[in-house]
Amino acid sequence: MSSAQASPLPQSSVRAPFVSRAAALLAGDWRYVPIATAIVLIWAFFAVQNPAYLSPRNLSNLCLQSVVTGMLALGLVPVLLIGQIDMSVAAMSAVAATIAGQLLLVEHVSVWLAIGAGVLFGGCVGFLQGRWITWTGTPAFLVTFGVSLALAALQLFLLPVTGQINLYGTDIVVLAGAYLPAGLSWAIGLLAAIVFAVFRLSAFMEARNASLEVNARTVVLPTVLVLIGLAVVVGALNMHNGVPVALLLFVVPIIVLTYVGSHTRFGLYLYATGGNPSAVARAGIDVDRIRIAAFVICGMFAAFGGIVGASRLLGVSAQSSGMGTLLLEAITAAVVGGTSLFGGRGSPWSALFGALAIASISNGIDLLGLGTEVKLATQGLVLVLATSVDSVAHKFANDTR
C-alpha cells in the first residue's frame, strides 16, 4: 500500500525489534487499528451513558455531522502529505457556498453549474496559494492564514444585502438531504466489497509473481472485515432514512484519492515530496508542481465541503459558514485519523476515521447535554493529544533511523 513507499522504518528493525515491528505494523496494514479502537471506545462510552447513542437515528445523524468536517480534512490530506498546511479551508468553504448559493438564487443557473463554479473557485484559489508559496518560499501557514482573512472579507462582499442565502426548497438541498433507496445501498455496498477484493487479489498476485513471501490471508481477512463493516453500516442506516447521499459523496472521493495515492506516479511523488523533497528534486521531478497540485485538490474539496454544508444547513450566512471550530476540527480530523503534520505519512481514509471520531465526541456531548464548556475542552484536548502522538511518532522514527 501507499505509505510503505515513504516509510522511514525498515532499516531500524535490527536495533529495536519489538518496537520497530509494532511501528512497522502500525505504518502498514494495522495503521487504522488505533483510530478504530478509539472510535469503538468513544461509542461504548456514550452508549453506556445513553443507549440512544447507537440508535439508527443517531448513526444517521453522525454520518451527516461528520461529512462536512471530513471533506475539509480530505482536502487537507494531500497538503499535509507534502508537509504543508492550509489554514484557509474553513473560509474557503464559506465563500464557495456563498458563490454557489448566489449563482443558484440570483443568476438562476442550474444546480450543477452552481456547484461546479464553487468548486472551480476553490481550485483556482488553491492554485494561486500553491503558486505563491512555491514561488516566494513563504511558509504556507502564513500565506493560507492571510488568504483565509481575505476570503472572509470576500464572503461579506458576496453575500446579498440581507446577509444570508436561504436554500430551503432549492435543488441543492439534495446534496445533504437525500437518501439512497435501500436496495441501491445494498447493491453499492456489495459492489464496493467486490472491487475491494479484486484490488487485494491483484496486489497479492503481483507480490507472488515477484516471488515475495505472501499469504492468502491478506486477501480473505480484510475482504471479510470490509464486507461485515459495510453490511452493518448499510443495515443500520436503512433502519432509519437510508444511506445519506452525502456519505457517498464523501466516500467515493476517498476511494479515488486512495487509488491515486497508491497506483499513480503523481501519488508516488506526493508521498515522496513530503518524505524527502530534496531527493525527489534530485530525481528530476518538478516538486513545485506536486505542491501546487496538492493545494488545488485541497481548495476544491474545501469548496465542495462548504457547499454540502450549506445544503445541510439550508442556507449560508457569515455567522454559520466557516465559523467557529470548523478549521481546527478539520485539521484535527486529518491528524487524528493518522495523517502526519510532518509530511509523507497518511492516507485519505484518515479523513473519514478522524472526522467520525471527532463527530462522535461532539455528538455524544450534545446528546448528554453536557454543554459548551465540556465540548470545547474535549476538542482542545483531542487536538493536543493527536498532534502529540504524531510528533512523538515522528521523533521516534527520526531517532531510530
Partner 1 sequence: MTKLTKVLAAAFAASCLAGPTFATERDPSLDGTVYFMLPNFTTVRYVQKDGPDFVAAMKKYAPNIKVELVNGESNPGQQQAQAEAAITAGAKAIVLTAADPSLASSILFAADKAKVPLIAYEHEASGGPLTYYTGFGALKAGQAQGKNAVAALSDGNAIPVARLYGNKGDFWQRATKQGQDESLDPLIKAGKIKIVCEDYVPNWNPSEAQRLIEQCLTKTNGDVAAIVASNDGTAEGALAALVSQGLAGKVKILGGCDANVTTLQNILLGLQNGTVLKDYSTLADDAARLVVATLQHKPLESGVVNGEFDNGFAKVPAAFADVTMIDKSNVGDVVKAGVWTWKEICTGPAAKTAECAAHAAD
Site for partner 1 contains 57 (CB under 8 A): yes
* Min CB(79)–partner 1 separation in Å: 24
Report the site for partner 1 in 80-139 (rule: CB under 8 A): 105
Rounded least distance, CB 309 to partner 1, Å: 7
Binding to partner 1 by residue 164, rule CB under 8 A?
A: yes
The verdict on 363 binding partner 1 (CB under 8 A) reads yes
What's the rounded Cα separation, in Å, for the pair 104 and 168? Answer: 12
CA 161 to chain centre: 34
Is residue 346 a contact partner of residue 262, using CB atoms and an 8 Å limit?
no
Q: What is the footprint of partner 1 within residues 167-186 (CB under 8 A)?
A: 167-170, 173, 176-177
Closer Cβ to partner 1, 207 or 318, answer by number = 318
Task: Give the binding range for partner 1 (CB under 8 A) out of 123-131, 134-142, 158-166, 247-255.
Answer: 158-166
What amino acid is encoded at 300 in this protein? M
**Of residues 63 and 257, the one with the C-beta less far from partner 1:** 63
Q: Which of 10, 17, 28, 163 binds partner 1 (CB under 8 A)?
A: 163
Q: Least distance in Å: CB of 395 to partner 1?
A: 35
Segment (H or E) for 164: strand 164-166
Round to whole Å and give the CA distance between 238 and 276: 46
One of 16, 26, 314, 374 touching partner 1 (CB under 8 A): 314
Distance of CA 220 to the CA centre of its chain: 27
**Using CA atoms, how far apart are residues 232 and 193, in angstroms rounded to an integer?**
13
State in angstroms the smallest separation of the CB of 160 from partner 1.
8
> Taking CB under 8 A as the rule, which mask of x and - marks residues 273-312 in contact with partner 1?
------------------------------------x--x
- State the Cα–Cα distance between residues 320 and 335, nearest whole angstrom: 25
Instruction: Name the strand (E) or helix (H) holding 103.
Output: helix 89-105
Of the candidates 67, 180, 208, 199, the one whose C-alpha atom is nearest the C-alpha of residue 216 is 208
Nearer to partner 1, 73 or 257 (CB): 73
Is 189 in contact with 248 (CB distance < 8 Å)? Answer: no
Residue 53 Cβ, how far from partner 1 at the closest point, in Å?
8
CB-based contacts of 154, cutoff 8 Å, min separation 6: 95
Burial of 212 (0-12, 13-18, 19+ CB in 10 A): exposed
Is residue 51 part of the contact set for partner 1 (CB under 8 A)? no
Contact between 162 and partner 1 by CB under 8 A: the answer reads: yes
* Cell numbers found for residue 151: 476570503
- Applying CB under 8 A, does 47 fall inside the site for partner 1? no
* E strand intervals along 148-214: 164-166
* Binding interface with partner 1 (CB under 8 A): 50, 52-53, 55, 57-58, 61, 64-65, 105, 152, 156, 160-170, 173, 176-177, 241, 309, 312-315, 317-321, 323-324, 362-363, 366-367, 369, 371-373, 375-376
